[in-house]
Amino acid sequence: MTQSSNKQIKTAAIISYISIIFNIISGLIYTPWMVKSIGKSDYGLYVLVSSFLIYFTIDFGLGQATARFLAKYRAENEEQKVNQLLSLTTKIYLGISLIMMTALIVVFFFIQNIFMQLNAAEIEKFKIIYVIAGLFSVVSFPFMSLNGIFIAYERFVVLKLCDILSKIGVILFMVCAILLGYKLYALIAINAFIGIIVIVFKLSYIFKTTAIRIDLKYTSKTLTRELFSFSIWSSILGIAQRLIINIAPTLLGIYSGTTAIAVFSIGILIESYVWTFASALNGLFLPKVSGLLSTSANREQVLQLMVKVGRIQLFLIGILYIGMITLGQEFIILWMGSEFTNSFPIVLMLIFPGFFTLTQEIASTLLYVENKIKFKAIIYMVAAITSMVLSVFLIPYFGTIGAAMGIVISLIIFEVIGVNIFYYKIMKINIFYFLKACLFKMLPSLAIVLAFGLALNYYISAINFVVFFIKAGLIAAVYLLVMWFFSLNKYEKELILSIYKKFTPNKLN
């Protein structure tokens, strides 16, 4: 990959983590205020409609298929095929969007029969926000491949800037709306409004800076067959991944009610912060992996890249995991209030499998590049079914904790154990070498810092955020020192120093 591409990846990664830090800080301030302003019941409805509509906005794997084929054509300098591909996928997306709109209309008339735990007032509110969010889903669906285009053309910086600016815009508009007295409905409408603005900007940017042109008259049975042969299993994988966690609010809406959804959603929110932090680099290496495989079938190159990226991701998420285990309960109580105490065990269960899987982004990317997702899709579908069955059985007895138990049991068996067997047996990735070079070499340092954090938490209780942040700062300082002297290699230290120099040039010159 060129020096320019490497610079793009590094800059985009920095912007990604700035965006994540912004999300976490704004979440600390904004989320509890928003929940208090609109009420726990309305917040539960807000989460419920968001999770429920996810089932209707599945792109049937076309997003991943488009990104994969775009990266392949770009690596082969086949610009004409890029235009043909995007012309064809646009038509397919428009067709699916019409089908999706029909399904949403039909479901609208059965809402009260689906969510029988909601009272009449909650059903009425749910229907209104369902219509607003549903309309946005139908309008935005045909543009789901835009991010794949940005990645294939290595416009990482612009893509990440769009993400962070849209998040800032959503929060600013929502704060203004709530202060003006607009509550639940405004939350949904503002998300849709900002989303449309971002789509318009991305479209104009792509047409101005690339040679991409869409021809809706173009047809190709061969290309359509290739797309769907790839996307059918990608679709199954995408559906299964969404169902594993995102089905929980819907099941709680059926068996428990909006209060349980609100408590569980805090667990999902924190888990999403951890996932977002770890996956900020995701997608940035698709062109590089495609390039490696177009020039060489050498698995060793991919394995070394997997270790390099995996260690960086583990270093970044390690502090989050240690912090959540040691300070998570105090954080949730200080942040959301004691009524959300049950969110803490939910968080621990939801984030646990990610400790093993979030570092394996390169293996996941390779999966799409080589079109070998059938077996992983099957594993995840079995995991989703298992998770749903367990949750339906456990929720009536344990409520939100039961939903989390069903998810974590399924993920450990299938996502952690099953997928790694798949990588080793089918993908021929030396997963044992990866675990040794990445996880096991860094695990002793992580254990030392965890022990320090638990001891600190045992002797000092955080009665306010001042004490909490002092404790968090001490743990972070010990983490950096231990990792620097006992775990990080020369490349990783140089990477950290280069980022530090990028932001403090005057101090080091």
Residues whose CB falls within 8 Å of the CB of residue 22, separated by 6 or more in sequence, listed in order: 164, 167, 168
Q: Please give the pLDDT value at position 349.
A: 93
pTM: 0.70
For 331-350, give the DSSP string.
HHHHHH-GGGTTHHHHHHHH
Residue 130 binned pLDDT confidence (cut-offs 50, 70, 90): confident
> What are the angstrom distances between the C-alpha of 429 and each of 88, 127, 207, 353, 364?
34, 48, 39, 20, 11
Rounded to an integer, what is the distance from CA 221 to the centroid of its chain?
Answer: 33
| pLDDT at 207 > cutoff 60 | yes
pLDDT digits (tens, 9 = 90+) for 27-64: 777 778 888 888 877 888 887 887 777 666 666 666 66
Which uninterrupted H or E stretch holds 392? helix 374-398
Type of residue found at 249: P
Is the pLDDT at 415 greater than 80, yes or no? yes
Start-to-end Cα distance in the chain: 29
User: Which of 77-86, 169-178, 496-505 reaches the highest mean pLDDT?
Assistant: 169-178
Residue 155: per-residue pLDDT: 78
Q: Cα dihedral angle (324, 326, 327, 328), rounded to 10 degrees? A: 40
- Condensed to tens digits (0 to 9), the pLDDT of residues 146-177 reads 877 787 777 777 887 888 888 888 888 888 88
Mean pLDDT for 305-318 is 86
What DSSP letter does each residue of 290-308 carry, written as one string?
A: HHHHHH---HHHHHHHHHH
Helix and strand element counts for the chain (H, E) = 24, 0
Alpha-carbon distance of 183 to 172, in angstroms, equals 14
| Token duo for residue 452 | 């320090």
Q: Which pLDDT score, from 0 to 100, does residue 506 have?
A: 54
Q: How far apart are alpha carbons 86 and 231 in whole angstroms?
A: 15
Between 223 and 58, the more confident residue is: 223
**In this predicted structure, which of 140-144, 183-187, 280-284, 494-498 has the lowest mean pLDDT?**
280-284
- Name the DSSP class of 439: I
30/36 Cα distance (integer angstroms): 10
pLDDT digits (tens, 9 = 90+) for 249-299: 878 888 777 778 888 888 888 887 777 766 665 555 555 555 555 444 567
For residues 256-286, one letter each, b for 16 or more C-beta atoms within 10 angstroms of the residue's C-beta and e for the rest, the string is bbbbbbbbbbbbbbbbbbbbbbbbbbbbbbb
Closest of 291, 268, 335 to residue 472, by C-alpha = 335
Residue 333 has pLDDT above 70, yes or no: yes
Neighbour count for residue 251 (Cβ, 10 Å) = 22
pLDDT in tens, 356-396: 888 887 887 777 677 677 888 888 889 989 998 999 899 88
**Who has greater pLDDT, 346 or 249?**
346
pLDDT confidence band for 454 (50 / 70 / 90): very high
Residue 219 has a CB neighbour count (10 Å cut-off) of 12
Q: What are phi and psi of 343, to 5 degrees?
A: -70, -25
40-53 vs 184-209: helix crossing angle, rounded to 10? 40
Q: What is the pLDDT of residues 174-205, one digit of tens each?
A: 888 888 887 788 888 888 888 899 889 988 98
pLDDT at 320: 87
CA–CA distance, 99 with 302 (Å, rounded to integer): 40
CA angle (92, 104, 51) in 5-degree steps? 95
**What was the pLDDT predicted at 58?**
64
H or E segment to which residue 231 belongs: helix 221-255
